[in-house]
């Protein structure tokens, strides 16, 4: 007869409209952790109270407020109890009908809100041990948070103070620098991310991001790109070899390969009612302090001079300059200095 295991969805307390069994523990809940660990089925408190579940000689009920219950506990219980359903509560295994009990070390429990930090620390240690054994280097596991759902290849280095969450994958040779936050992203191989926030983005091999860059959902960065400091990119694709080196906003744009986006460039994508897209061809040059008022297109090899506001499309190879010419008054500076 096969062993049947249930996890009781016990509601010890609530926080921000979530019951204790539904609080996130590095991308999973205590209920999910136990169900996965033991191949178990969830069980409601109501069904448990009514006995409305399959009961037998090898039936176990694990309570969801003990997310790190060791698998060896069930083997230990089978050797002590001859039959009947066995429930686990507060470090004690209770054999129904026999009056017998077996004390077992279950580790951290989530029975009140003050238990949550120690449960989270235990989860971090568990994930860190798995990653280190898999060839991932964690500089400081105590200050680093990696979700159970994240996938890091061997050869990845994660420096201190980082958070890697959700459905994130990171390729071999990538370095995640200090104080970076990565959530629901696909990061390629040999990427460097320094002190930046990446949410729902894709980054190609060999690309450098940061420091202090912000890649928002819908962003796709090609291979061997440079996304520099204080750059924000949203819902845009950036082609191979393109550089957006500093202090720029790229929103709702398709930028080609080997494009230079200068310091202070802004893709003006919102007219107050709708968002519009810009399209930039391969090999274009966008100078510093430019505004591209969408919808606008720069065809391949066109050049936008520094300080220009672009409102019309550029054809292949065009040069556009739209700034006022300077007026120089010789010797006038002394008047302003007194």
Q: How far apart are CA 155 and CA 174, in angstroms?
A: 7
Q: CA-CA distances (angstroms) from residue 41 to 173, 199, 207, 261, 337?
A: 38, 33, 43, 54, 80
Q: CA-CA distances (angstroms) from residue 227 to 132, 174, 246, 250?
A: 29, 15, 7, 11
User: Catalytic annotation on 246?
Assistant: yes
Q: Which of 66, 224, 246, 276 is catalytic?
A: 246
Q: Which residues contact 36 (CB under 8 A, 6 or more apart)?
A: 28
Element (H, E) at 33: helix 30-38
Q: Which of 211, 214, 191, 194 shows the shortest CA–CA distance to 203?
A: 191
Q: How far apart are CA 110 and CA 90, in angstroms?
A: 10
CA 74 to chain centre: 35
Dihedral sign for Cα 7, 8, 9, 13, please.
negative
Q: How far apart are CA 70 and CA 52, in angstroms?
A: 26
Q: Which of 153, 212, 143, 161 shows the shortest CA–CA distance to 186?
A: 153
Q: Which of 26, 325, 248 shows the shortest CA–CA distance to 148?
A: 26
Note whether 299 and 318 are within 8 A (CB).
Answer: yes
| Active site residue ranges | 246
């Amino acid at each position: 007869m096969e062993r049947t295991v249930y996890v009781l969805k016990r509601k010890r307390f609530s926080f921000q409209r979530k019951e204790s069994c539904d609080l996130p523990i590095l991308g999973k809940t205590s209920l999910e952790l136990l169900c996965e660990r033991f191949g178990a089925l969830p069980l409601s408190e109501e069904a448990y109270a009514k006995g409305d579940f399959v009961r037998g000689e090898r039936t176990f009920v694990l309570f969801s407020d003990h997310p790190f219950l060791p698998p060896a506990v069930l083997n230990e219980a089978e050797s002590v109890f001859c039959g009947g359903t066995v429930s686990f509560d507060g470090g004690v295994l209770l054999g129904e009908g026999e009056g017998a009990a077996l004390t077992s070390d279950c580790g951290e429990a989530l029975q009140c809100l003050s238990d949550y930090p120690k449960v989270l620390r235990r989860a971090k240690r568990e994930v860190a041990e798995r990653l280190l054994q898999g060839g991932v280097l964690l500089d400081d596991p105590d200050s680093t948070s990696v979700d159970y759902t994240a996938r890091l290849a061997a050869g990845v280095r994660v420096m201190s103070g980082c958070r890697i969450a959700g459905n994130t994958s990171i390729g071999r040779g990538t370095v995640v620098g200090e104080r970076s936050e990565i959530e629901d992203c696909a990061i390629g191989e040999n990427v460097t991310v320094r002190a930046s926030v990446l949410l729902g983005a894709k980054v190609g091999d060999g690309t450098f991001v940061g420091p202090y860059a912000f890649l928002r959902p819908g962003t796709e960065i090609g291979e061997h790109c440079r996304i520099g400091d204080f750059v924000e990119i949203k819902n845009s694709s950036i082609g191979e070899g393109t550089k957006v080196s500093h202090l720029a906003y790229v929103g709702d744009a398709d930028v080609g390969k080997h494009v230079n986006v200068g310091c202070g460039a802004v893709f003006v994508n919102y007219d107050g009612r709708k968002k519009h897209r810009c399209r930039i061809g391969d090999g274009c040059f966008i100078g510093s302090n430019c505004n591209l008022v969408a919808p606008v297109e720069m065809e391949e090899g066109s050049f936008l001079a520094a300080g220009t506001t672009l409102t019309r499309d550029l054809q292949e190879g065009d040069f556009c300059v739209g700034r006022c010419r300077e007026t120089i008054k010789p010797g006038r500076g002394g008047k302003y200095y007194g």
